[in-house]
Amino acid sequence: MGNLGFSELLVILVIALLVIGPRRLPEVARALGEAVRSFQDAIKGSSKRE
């Protein structure tokens, strides 16, 4: 588990485009990236990241 191939990522992207829409997809991806980054920082114990 955890190994995603190109075809799986492509299916996920297509589903995301259908559900979210092409206009909101960059906004949602950016928010998801920030959430993952803050989660990683919380695990590492750092409170702020540049």
Residue 20 CA to residue 23 CA, distance in Å, equals 8
pLDDT of residue 9: 87
pLDDT of residue 38: 93
The more confidently predicted of residues 50 and 40 is 40
pLDDT digits (tens, 9 = 90+) for 6-46: 999 899 889 989 999 989 988 998 998 999 999 999 998 86
Give the DSSP letter of residue 23: T
Residue 24 CA to residue 38 CA, distance in Å, equals 21
Count how many Cα atoms sit within 13 Å of the Cα of residue 36 in the half-sphere of its side chain.
6
First to last CA, the chain: 32
Q: Where are the domains of the chain?
A: 6-44
SS3 48: coil
CB 25 within 8 Å of CB 17:
yes
